[in-house]
Structure 1
Amino acid sequence: MRTWSFSSAGTLFFGRHAVRHHLQDACERVRAKRAFIVTDSILVKAGILAQTLEPLTAAGVTFEVYDKVTPEPGVELVRECVAVARTSNPDVVIGLGGGSNMDTAKLVAMILAHGGDPLDYPGDCRVPGPVKPLICIPTTAGTGSEVSPAAVFTDTANHIKVSCLSPFLRPNFAIVDPLFTVTCPPKVTADSGIDALTHAIEGFCAVDNEEFPLPSGEKSVYQGKNPMADAMAQRAIMLVGKFLRRAVKDGNDLEARDGMALAGTLGGLAFSNAGVALVHAMEYPVGGAVHVSHGAGNGLLLPFVMRFNLNHRVPETAQIGVHLGKIEGNGMIELAESAIREIERLREDIGIPTRLRDLGVTEEMLPGFAAKAFAIKRLMRVNPRMPQNEGEILDIYKAAW
């Protein structure tokens, strides 16, 4: 049996009012006196930032706020945020918001510690050591960035999203308060929720840990399927099946918000150990070329990739349907196909786009997308069915177009 490991954020606090009760403690445990908060203007207007500042003030922590993060941030924004942070000289960096805000905070913490430019670090295990103390507080339910070792931003010159992967990018503290997601609008709730499902499914259907194709001398944060990641992924899938439609329909449904907040975190724990794969590799060039959220892009591509992988993950795909609660069929293949159809129904019910052409993608873009996706080997090797060439990926894009 091949050895596997399981990692998370240093400490996870979860529950209603978790920020009020635990942010002061987190700051004290890293001996912070000056905080740099990375967030966005929407959360300022919604009063979420004010709720976050209260325990900081009570702890005697001074702070500076950068509230200009935009969805799917480009490298220029990250550089600007780093420049502001340098003048603040913080003891701790706090990422408050969705995945874009938390990922930007991770990049700031990394560059404050090690210098350089954001584009120096994309890839696996290229961060040379610990980063500035980092606290992540999600206000969406889905990205899992609060517990993950990944930070994603857009390389605007090359029109592709890139990811820095390092165990040093896991936050010291993740504080998940489902009440912070109540103001999240339906579209963002849907996009982040389908992202949580994608994370859980890619982690659950990843290549087996014992077969993970890591070349000699290379390091990888991802390591393929293992029992702990499987347990997290399956629970996340069940929660999404039960609560995502409800959370999109009624943002004040607190039971649904609790369930989806947990689904997002569990999905993050699953994928950040097992890995994400072909769905993410294919979404990166799409998201870098057209204006679509990472979650919506993943949700669009997910059923098409699942069909590509199906013969290599029939039992797992059937089990996904069982966890979602709505499948029918006689035999494993029929159950697995029914599971994919249920994901398509869920996608349509919550308003996720179903065709690349609806995002403004032209057919002429697809070969370039396929070349870029095929080049992301660190994700390709996690997929249970390794694409053999760009043409196989192009066929999936064409089916989704």
Structure 2
Amino acid sequence: MACSSIRYGKGVTQEVGMDVQNVGARRVCVMTDKNLARLPPLRNVLDSLTRHAVKFDLFDDVRVEPTDGSLKKAIAFARRGAFDAYVAVGGGSVIDTCKVANLYTSSPDADFMDYVNAPIGKGKPINFSLKPLIAQYVLEITNPLTCETTGVAVFDHEPLKAKTGIASRAIRPTLGLIDPLHTSYLPERVCANSGFDVLCHCLESYTALPFDQREPCPTNPLYRPVYQGSNPISDVWSRHTLHIVAKYLKRAVQNRDDLEARSLMHLGSTFAGIGFGNAGVHLCHGMSYPISGMAKTYKAKGYNIDHNLVPHGLSVVVTSPAVFTFTASMCPERHLEAAEILGADIRQACRADAGRILADVLRQMLFDLGVDDGLSALGYSCDDIPELVRGTLPQERVTKLSPRAQTEEDLSLLFEESMKLY
């Protein structure tokens, strides 16, 4: 079990200047995106750094859903600055971009594909130290609500038209700051998609292949994957967060002024990050990568961006009814328990019904929160399924964590079943 140090509480943003001082940094790279650059959370961070006489340069050109091209731009900025610490002000896109910039600045002779997950990249182990990275997690307006204090950075690999990433405990932030005062800046639709990501983090990590069934054993602990499979500690975090999602997600989406609901979803995303950051995710995420990467005509509602985008949380949750129907036979008790937490009556249920029951409660939740009616509503048709499958096949880092192995034909059927939800 590994996770970053995390500090939660109203107003903790004010402490970031002292945190940077405490790690001995003299010159800091601050990264954010264009939307957050205009909002108070960034100003609060910069004011704290200034107040504590910390010198910094600002990179505010992080791309929503980073690509290999946008990451290389951030790496070039970081290499020019000779920074001795990093502060990421945002959500997953910003924090992942900052992780990658820190990594490749600390390894200046590396080729970009050296640390990218195999089989897409070379998947080399990271056996050197990085600079301190403080993640000021502020529910990035254009990114999923996920406390990315994990050892994973995800991006769109443009040649493949699908997501991949870099996974190593070495890239985890040193400290994550979680300030619930920032939650009111999240628009309704972004809040919903963000919460769906947290929901799937819980469900996938809780139903992932158990850690002691993964083989072969790594020849050296250095090669042990960040995503290990479901395990007793991650289970605690994932199950607890699922209760939070069940109680507070709808409230958080429907009323942006509900500080209790939004604060607890903010904290819950942190709990989920600890759970899935060690257990991992599986098919919903693996299938989401080509859905996002191939975004054709869909313009995400509530997002202030100028490119086609299927938001990450939406691309993940849209396949969830089909996925959990498919995986339920391998661990039906866990699927039934998840369904019960989300509100299903399972008193008369039998093990064979686990997948259907969980799928039904998920469909109802998605309907209640206004989710588009499946992949067809996101601009896809059955003609796109072969390419969606091709984009999923290289995602072995997560697909191999599914409790049920899948063939290309299985994946095709899952995409087909996800064309319509209701």
- TM-score above 0.5: yes
Report matched runs for 1:252-331 at 5 Å.
252-290=257-295, 291-331=309-349
Deviation (angstroms), 1:369: 1.8
Counterpart for residue 71 of structure 2: 78
Is the 1:139–1:184 contact (alpha carbons within 8 Å) kept by the matching residues of 2? no
Whether 1:400 aligns to 2:407 is no
CA-to-aligned-CA distance 1:235-290 (integer Å, 9 cap, x gap): 11111111111111111111011110111111111111111111111111111111
Please tell me whether the aligned partners of residues 160 and 285 of structure 1 are also in contact (alpha carbons under 8 angstroms). yes
What is the alpha-carbon root mean square deviation over aligned residues? 1.8
Distance 1:117 1:351, change over 3 A: farther
Unmatched 5+ stretches in structure 1: 1-5
Measured in 1, the distance between the counterparts of 2:138 and 2:112 equals 24
Mapping of residues 108-123 of structure 1, within 5 Å: 108-115=101-108, 116-123=110-117
Q: Which residue of 2 aligns with 1:8?
A: 3
Q: Which residue of 2 aligns with 1:366?
A: 385
State the match for 1:131 in structure 2: 130
Tell me by how many angstroms 1:145 deviates.
4.3
In the other structure, the counterpart of 1:168 is: 170
Name the CA distance, whole Å, in 2 between partners of 1:120 and 1:353.
38
Residue 127 of structure 1 deviates from its aligned partner by: 2.7
Partner of 1:3: none
* Mapped partners of 2:186, 2:249: distance in 1: 13
1:68-100 CA-to-partner distances (Å, cap 9, x unmatched) read 222112111111112122222211111111211
8 Å contact kept, 1:125–1:167: no
Deviation at 1:219, TM superposition (A): 3.2
**% same residue:** 27
For 1:60 and 1:101, the matched residues in 2 are separated by: 24
Corresponding residue for residue 106 of structure 1? 99
Count of residue correspondences: 393
Are residue 63 (structure 1) and residue 63 (structure 2) matched? no
Give the stretch that moved more between structures: 355-364 or 274-283.
Answer: 355-364
Partner of 2:139: 140
**Post-superposition shift, 1:360?**
1.4
Task: Tell me if structure 1 keeps the 8 A contact 2:145–2:266.
Answer: no
**Which of the numbers 152, 158, 161 marks the counterpart of 2:160?**
158
Given that 2:146 and 2:194 are in contact with CA atoms closer than 8 Å, whether structure 1 keeps it comes out as no
Q: Which residue of 2 aligns with 1:248?
A: 253
The answer (yes or no) to whether the contact 1:135–1:172 under 8 Å persists in 2 is: yes
Which amino acid letter does the alignment assign opposite residue 396 of structure 2?
K
Q: 1:187 aligns with which of 184, 189, 200?
A: 189
Task: Find the aligned partners of 1:82 and 1:381 in 2 and give their Cα distance.
Answer: 30
Mapped to 2, the partners of 1:128 and 1:144 lie a distance apart of: 26
The 1:170/1:125 distance shift into structure 2, 3 A limit, reads farther
Greater shift in the superposed pair: 365-374 or 253-262: 365-374
Instruction: Give the structure 2 partner of residue 343 of structure 1.
Output: 362
Residues 104-147 of structure 1: CA distance to partner in whole angstroms, max 9, x if unpaired? 01111111101234433211563332222111122228553432
Moved more, 341-350 or 137-146: 137-146
Q: Is the 8 A contact 1:319 1:336 kept in 2?
A: no
Counterparts in 2 of 1:125 and 1:204: CA distance versus 1, 3 Å:
farther
Corresponding residue of 1:206: 208
Q: 1:107–1:118: 8 Å Cα contact kept in structure 2? A: no
Q: What amino acid is aligned across from residue 245 of structure 2 in structure 1?
A: V
1:53 to 43, 46, 49: 46
Residue by residue over 1:136-164, the C-alpha shift from the partner in whole angstroms, topping out at 9 and shown as x without a partner, is 12222855343211101111122111110
Contact 1:125–1:219 (Cα < 8 Å) also in 2: no
In the alignment, structure 2 segments of 5+ residues that lack a partner are 118-122, 296-308
Residue 18 (1) aligns with residue 17 (2): no
2:402 maps to a residue whose letter is: N
Alpha-carbon distance, 1:308 to partner = 0.6
Distance (whole Å) between structure 2 residues aligned to residue 354 and residue 315 of structure 1: 28
**Counterpart AA for 2:164:** V
Contact 1:237 1:320 in 2 (8 A): yes
Whether contact under 8 Å (1:245, 1:350) holds in the other structure is yes
On the 8 A contact 1:329/1:338 being kept in 2, the answer is no
3-state DSSP class of the match of 2:35?
A: helix
Question: For the structure 1 residues 176 and 216, does the alpha-carbon distance in structure 2 shift closer, same or farther, using more than 3 Å as the test?
Answer: closer
